[in-house]
Amino acid sequence: MALDQQALGALKIGNREAGPRHGWLRRRWPYLALAALVLLLGAVMLRPKPLPVETVTASAPAASGRITVLNASGYVVARRIATVASKVTGRLIENNVQEGAVVHAGDVLARLDPATVHAAYEVAVRGREAAARALREVEVRRTDAERALGRVRSLAASHLVAQSTLDTTEADFNALSARLEQVRAELGVADSGVRQRQQDLDDLVIRAPFSGVAISKDAQPGEMVSPISAGGGFTRTGIATIVDMESRELEVDVNEAFIQRVHTGQLVEAALDAYPDAMLAAHVINVVPTADRQKATIKVRIGIDHLEPRILPDMGVKVSFLEAAATGAAAVAFVPGGAVVADGDAHYVWRVTDGRVHRTPVRVGTSTGDDVPVLEGLRPGDRIVARPEAALRDGGAVTVKGG
């Protein structure tokens, strides 16, 4: 059978045209894939990064109808705290203090070595006994002299003895009377000496000056203790430190520019740094009438309405001074003043939702403290940017610092 030469030629020409095009694609596809990957990576890298922001939570108005007019920080302090020391220098032989133990006024905390003082006490006792015996002797002699004087006076009245004999007898009686007064005085001195030595013995027993809790044990048996520093650092000046837990209160430093917002009897809310979610009811005891020149602050004493065991001296505390919310009574939430941005007569905040910020118009009331009352636009619990930046954009992505 004869072949169609014309059709065969056309077939060969078509294969020559199609072959180079498919071969070019096969040779270039790795480069095209690489270019697409580079474009994808570039788009990812050039995408705007989320802006880090710090947020705060809009707080609900206080149920008591009060608002915060000032915030401050301070510490828990004990008005009655003492490092108990010995009145005399001596060697410690007993220390009954245990850290954290409750002690009562008059409890024996420690004892010093009584050997030397006890010996001196024995000498004083013996001296008093000797003075008492001397007194009894003089009293007997004076009684005898008084009888003899009576007899001589009777004889002298009958002119049976000479006047000189009467004078001598009276002189002896008067001398013994004077001696009796002297011995009585000596006995008083001896009694005072015994009491002094007894006090020295009592001073060797260190007792708790008031009821409280021992927070430190400052000396061990065998060490020397003294009411003053001595011995090149080898002598202890304290036995133990006791805190009267009933005298706990708060002490804060308020900037003198805001002290006009604080007054005696003012209600206060406090939160320990260790328990930030547990609010403590408190009140201002007084404002200490002096300022710190270096820090430009004034000290404020705050009493705690209900003392709790977890409130420990030297704990950090945050306090809020409260006043009646005259202008903020209709507020639906409170936010820090720095979170509100003014735009002419209007105001807005940046509310954070699902990792993005939204410009939210709000209507605010008149602020009388650090927080601003929000009348419309927010609800308690909404998260907002604490310190808005110019780079924020409505709907922009953000990351919460520390979140």
**Lowest mean pLDDT segment, chosen from 11-15, 167-171, 293-297, 348-352:** 11-15
Where residue 118 falls among pLDDT bands split at 50, 70, 90?
A: very high
CA-nearest of 206, 182, 186 to 194 is 186
CA-to-CA distance for 52 and 62, rounded, in angstroms? 31
CA distances from 296 to 251, 290, 292, 299, 302 (A): 16, 10, 5, 10, 19
Q: What is the pLDDT of residue 286?
A: 94
CA-to-CA distance for 161 and 158, rounded, in angstroms? 8
Residue-wise pLDDT for 217-271, tens only, equals 999 999 999 888 765 567 888 899 999 999 999 999 999 999 999 999 999 999 9
CA-to-CA distance for 5 and 201, rounded, in angstroms? 142
CA-nearest of 81, 83, 79 to 241 is 83
What letter would DSSP give residue 397? B
CA-nearest of 339, 344, 332 to 373 is 332
Instruction: Please report the DSSP string for 263-331 in residue order.
Output: -TT-EEEEEETTEEEEEEEEEEEEEEEEEETTTTEEEEEEEESS--TT--TT-EEEEEEEEE-SSSTT-
Q: What is the pLDDT of residue 105?
A: 94
Residue 69 has pLDDT above 90, yes or no: no
Given a contact cutoff of 8 angstroms between Cβ atoms, the answer to whether 376 and 363 are in contact is yes
- What's the chain's average pLDDT? 84
Given a contact cutoff of 8 angstroms between Cβ atoms, the answer to whether 173 and 149 are in contact is yes
Mean pLDDT of 100-107: 93
**Max CA separation in the chain (angstroms):** 208
Q: In one letter, which amino acid is 194?
A: V
CA angle 371, 376, 378 (to 5 degrees): 70
Q: What is the pLDDT of residue 13?
A: 46
Q: Are strands 316-324 and 297-304 parallel, antiparallel or unpaired?
A: unpaired
Where residue 290 falls among pLDDT bands split at 50, 70, 90?
A: very high
Where residue 46 falls among pLDDT bands split at 50, 70, 90?
A: low
Residue 153 has pLDDT above 60, yes or no: yes
CA-to-CA distance for 347 and 338, rounded, in angstroms? 12
Given a contact cutoff of 8 angstroms between Cβ atoms, the answer to whether 378 and 339 are in contact is no
Residue-wise pLDDT for 355-383, tens only, equals 888 999 998 877 656 678 888 888 888 89
Q: What is the pLDDT of residue 241?
A: 94
Q: What is the pLDDT of residue 1?
A: 45
Q: Find residue 304's DSSP bridge partners.
A: 282
**Lowest mean pLDDT segment, chosen from 14-23, 141-150, 152-161, 197-206:** 14-23
Of residues 172 and 18, the one with the higher pLDDT is 172
pTM: 0.58
Sign of the four-CA dihedral 275, 279, 281, 287: positive
Helices 115-157, 163-203: crossing angle, 10 deg rounding: 160
